[in-house]
Amino acid sequence: MVRPVPEVRERQRLDHVFEDLVREGVEPWLADLVAKRVEKSVSVEALFQPSVANIDDPICIPDMDKAVDRIVEAIEEGERCILAVDHDLDGISAASVLWSALVDHFGVDPNNLSVVTSHRLTEGYGITEPVVERILETDATLVISADKGSSDQERIKKIAEAGKDVVVTDHHAVPVEGPPASAFAVVNPARFDSKYDPFVCGAGVAFLTMAKVRTRLLEKNYRPTIPSLVDIIDYVAVATISDCVALRPDKSYINRAMVKRGLALINSEKRACWKVFRQEIGTDVCSEHIAFNLAPTVAAAGRLDWADAGFHFLVAKDIKSARKQWNLLKEENSLRKDIERGVRRKAFAAAREIEGNSIVVYVDDGHSGVHGITASKVVEAYGKPAAIFSPKGAGARNGDQNGVTGKDGRALASGSFRGIDGIHVREALQHVADNHKGLLVGFGGHAGAAGATLSIDDIEQFSVAYEEAISLQVGDRFLRPILWVDGDLDASNLILETVDKLMTLEPWGKDFPYPSFRGQFTVLDVKRVGDGSHLQLKLRMDGKMYKAIWFFAVDEDSMEMPVKVGDDNTFVYMLSENVFRGNRTLQLKVLGIAE
């Protein structure tokens, strides 16, 4: 299958939303952008100044009261506690939330706390058997999970039977049989019996839980004063952006409020980690910097090995410690990029041979730490749900793990899934599990992303079953990559002031994408940069010259250039700033060519 040419579609505006916003004093062109992204009217406050003071009380989340009582009891009695978190940035941020709340705000002795993460490559997601073993080796009496646990009844039962209570805080989809029955409490807004915002990330759920713990401690006069937890919302902001949960104002007010406040805290540089990060990027931090600069770097350690360096960077108390961890993370991220490049080339070569509504690729010498990133690139290129598999444990630095087997002795493969709008990948996996008993060893996730484990021998059978499940959701649609645009922008608006006004609508992100436009340009200069797959361009519109960058413009197999000097093309692009030695200039980010 030849890589398809993207279809360019213009977003459609809801006129009544546009009119309401203009009536409230919003500039028409900004109101137009908002009215092309929401499904109902939103307040100006929700758009420009969402406040954490106005979020719904999380006490209404099922099991919150029970969880809070148990955590407060552990604090009062000085119990040993385990913080069991996922290995991605949401999990590491959640660990930072829990640690900071318990130690810095509630005065818990750090010697009474231990952070237990899972190893992405050899153990996978969730409260896995190795995680259980490490927990059972301790004398802890309470386990607080964050960003995982909702699908781990079997393992939680073992922990509970050993006399340790498990409080689950999570945001992932709950199995059809319900929350894990052996857990002391399960705080998850995604529960079937919850009416709370289901789009809160794992670190967000951990924060909401700790906020109610603080309230309960104050009610019990545990300490005369306990500082507000608002100053740890920076961790929640980072997790919200990196975990790609909803940021649309009519969909999740909470997430917008958390990110808005968190970005302000990050730019105030009250933590050592943010001082280091802001020095790295040289300008104020926005959601794009979190998504494309911070998140890949901090998450790199957990992609290749243990995630500890990311946690130590976030909670570092001084510049020296933060910089040391940041430099380690940058080294890991550089290595991650090299590994990803190799896996991506093989995945794309395999994807070209696959027909249908889904793409499932098995890379026998792949690296499970870059599955998700690679799957996302395949989705962007083909516009179809994609999954990348390799042998479970592939790439682990303790090489004896390059052959993890299941209970039946067969070698296992682990895979990461990414979806497209209108397709729920976890529901597709549930369909496979329901109709092909025993095919999946394990799975979990949510609408846009998921993970699964199965026997390598069953990859081909799974591919057929997954295609069937996806096709049921697709119906009669024809899937291809789509480039969405907000219309044309004349040259007079291609200025930094336009970028600044767009930033007033921060945070941009999931379900509230940063605006992209269409425009006719003449190509004045083309130069390959980076690894050769990116292009640096000089473009001309109406007699004015603009600098532009086009990431992954060159096909890595054919190395064919998509444009040449002298071409007149209609480009799809975004407006951005480029900061060099403190100087800001306008830069266009090319997304593709409209044919």
Higher-pLDDT residue of 584, 13: 13
Confidence of residue 398 (pLDDT cuts 50, 70, 90): low
Output the pLDDT for position 393.
Answer: 77
Beta strands in 292-438 (DSSP E): 359-362, 386-391, 412-418
* % of the chain surpassing 90 pLDDT: 76
- Higher pLDDT: 173 or 203? It is 203
Torsion angle in degrees (nearest 10) through CA of 191, 196, 159, 107: 170
CA nearest neighbour of 149 among 163, 165, 166, 133: 166
HEC assignment per residue over 162-230 = CCCEEEEECCCCCCCCCCCCCCCEEECCCCCCCCCCCCCCHHHHHHHHHHHHHHHHHHCCCCCCCCCHH
Cα 364 to Cα 121, 389, 402, 406, 502: the distances in Å are 14, 8, 11, 17, 44
**Among 517, 507, 41, which residue's Cα sits nearest to residue 246?**
507
81 contacts 203 by C-beta, under 8 angstroms: no
Average pLDDT over residues 411-428: 93
Contact in structure between 275 and 317 (CB atoms under 8 Å):
no
CA distance 15 to 32: 9
Mean of the per-residue pLDDT values of the chain:
92
What is the C-alpha separation between 178 and 331, in angstroms, rounded? Answer: 42
Rg (CA), the chain: 24
Burial pattern 71-102, b for ≥16 Cβ within 10 A else e, equals: bbebbeeebbbbbbbbbbbbbbbbbbbbbbbb
Whether 437 has a pLDDT exceeding 50, the answer reads: yes
Q: What is the DSSP letter of 479?
A: -
Is pLDDT above 60 for 239? yes
Kindly indicate the confidence band of residue 358, based on its pLDDT and cuts at 50, 70 and 90.
Answer: very high
- pLDDT tens readout for residues 534-566: 999 999 999 999 999 999 888 766 678 899 999
Q: Which amino acid is at 95?
A: A
Top CATH class, 52-268: alpha beta
How far is the C-alpha of 256 from the C-alpha of 262, rounded, in Å?
10
**In the chain, which residues fall in CATH 3.10.310.30?**
354-480
At residue 565, the pLDDT reads 95
In sequence order, which residues have a C-beta less than 8 Å from that of residue 225 and are 6 or more positions away? none
Domain 354-480 has CATH 3.10.310.30: yes
pLDDT at residue 403 tops 70: no
Local confidence band at 591 (pLDDT 50, 70, 90 cut-offs):
very high
Class of domain 485-593: mainly beta
The segment(s) of the chain belonging to CATH 2.40.50.460 are 485-593
The pTM of the whole model exceeds 0.75:
yes
| pLDDT value, residue 560 | 80
| pLDDT level of residue 462 (50, 70, 90 thresholds) | very high
Instruction: Characterize the bridge pairing of strands 386-391 and 359-362.
Output: parallel
* pLDDT for 152 beyond 50: yes
Residues 6+ apart with CB under 8 A from 501: 27, 30
Give ranges for CATH 3.90.1640.30 in the chain: 52-268
In 10 A of CB 11, how many CB atoms? 16
CA distance 501 to 27: 10
For position 143, what pLDDT does the model report? 98
Q: What are phi and psi of 21, to 5 degrees?
A: -70, -40
Look at the block and give the residue holding tokens 């200039």: 585
Contact 455, 412 (CB under 8 A): yes
Residues above pLDDT 70, as percent of the chain:
96
pLDDT computed for residue 128 by the predictor: 87
pLDDT digits (tens, 9 = 90+) for 185-201: 999 999 999 999 999 99
Residue 400's pLDDT is: 46
For residues 16-25, average pLDDT = 96
